[in-house]
Structure 1
């Protein structure tokens, strides 16, 4: 099979990223998606002109083929490495095995994944025959076994601030959100944003990518309404924006509320352009960036239609996360574990959904499906750390350690029964 990385793809002049954003390779900043802009300002004074030129070519190659997040992460990790080399030796003109070995010695085991991230990057660099990487670098990486990024720590330790919510915390969160909505302290958009994070466990980028037309409504044989949300997939290798979807079933209550939000969005759009209808409405984001839309509402309908075909009218993932955190923080949901307000963020709700599924007895394959993972590798942390199992271990350890605790407290222990 031909390795797709062995053909250099950069083009000339203005380049279009995989997410459809145009950028100039010679510019110091590249906007690759609505969420990601990478800076190459740091290159000047750190890399030689030859190495800098090769870096621009390889990053352009990645920006065309891969996601903006992936390209940005590779750039960040490579920058950390070469800046370290620059601090040791001055201007960097080549990537050498000796520098990689020295850099590895500065990393502890939990940070070895820094090198793991750029391993593939530098091997592709060498395969493309771009100058700047010594010939023995790929074989050096082939001989290394690097630790991957540590995952699942917050779940494994049952962190009260970053791990899954307990049943009581989750119930309190749901009650406070509903109370806030009923008192008009939370508007429909923010209420549905928080509700969909809880119900679907999807990443912020996935919910931000949703459009009104992604809600599917049907009638079952007994006449009941059924709702399905076609959620765009992310982190799919080689997949473009909204190229793949995964259906997520919604309860009738949530489905009706989503439909209400869609109607509210359409009504607001019509206040800007009364003649908007049809396909444009279907492509209106579920969580629109209204400022962007308002900037074009005076233009012809074709301009608005073109806008709806891109991700420019969608909120950024950072805004989605911030709105969730602010919505929950305003309701002061108290944790029984910390006696303080619960901090809620999207990843924590993903962990909560998966942990609750594990408590119900679902295996890693089902949990991976719930989280929209490509495999069950990362889902196993939930089934291996079901709190009920941990409680049993904690109880057994407590019995063993109780005499020691009493001794340190100055209590005389007369027998093992004490």
Structure 2
């Protein structure tokens, strides 16, 4: 064999690709290529690529196409993990003409959840391209993972938990959704039934098919020592080919109870208890949610744009938050209306690698203002939106002996929750000169003595809001000096 023959074989094995920066580089189809940037040297190993296999040919084509749209380091990671999935399948004895769900179902256990986002990035492009090599079941999982709940003993959840577009919502995103929905309802962008539907999903995390099976009579209102109390009779969802009669009763969260009472007892509403609660079919619920969030403004810090919303995201969020707050497997299973705990330990396993706290690009102090406090600080009540109107002033009588803390920018009659509920309301107009450090100390003392996790979370939000007000006040003072 002459010295020229290996060089010719290498040349025949290479394919020219255009990079994101405009350069053209030759990439070996079945070997290792190194490409240098001003930051590092990147290694692309296509040793797993067998041109005789449909799966490999399509995967290679997709990855080569990504060089012109993504960074060198990102394509390097995608190449590594797609190659690992195919290579592991071949070592397990699979023919690998088609990549299947079985090849990725155990991915987090083998590679860790942090590596998972690179795989769907490639597989989604693969699906959209129409290239062969993906089994139908895997395509179905990529386009609707929620349909795989309780299959594969729950691994599906570990795969989607960290997906920023389909997985559990971060605290910042959930707050943005809540505030956006409330603002849209207040301004007439969505109607009462749409507002109630979103809050039902946020508070319960139930599947659309369960909501579709609910009747108005499943919202049970009883009189209690503190007013009306609501119990929800949630239909179980499994055994889909028939409408089941089995229901689990659950106490309705207080914030949802207020919304449901307003929805069900609206002016002139005489609906029969057997009438559907919202819609008869689950696809109607999903379509309405998509319609609502085309009109509701939301923001995700980690995505740098609107929060992608579909009904199951609230379910994933509720499950992870329940585990994070100390719920047992059985408690979390009942909350999610699972008949067994088989899925729940995957929720628990996913927690250590759930999204990290958001680091705002303009600094942590301004991040507080952007994500927690959304009101409009003022120096005097003469600057208030409703200056001089009765009921506009917000005071704290419990701790600060009636001192003025700010003003209410709306006519909402919710002063019985003031001033704490005001702190996270976008209509609150706090006075910069109010005794915020003193009020902060009160909240911190309450947090230390509180044992109920739900109340602790609410108090922590209020503490963050007060800190944001203090930060804004001090920044304003420096700016006017």
TM-score using structure 2 length = 0.42
Comparing both chains, which one has the higher relative contact order based on Cα–Cα distances under 8 Å and sequence gaps of 6 or more? 1
What TM-score comes out, normalization by structure 1 length? 0.47
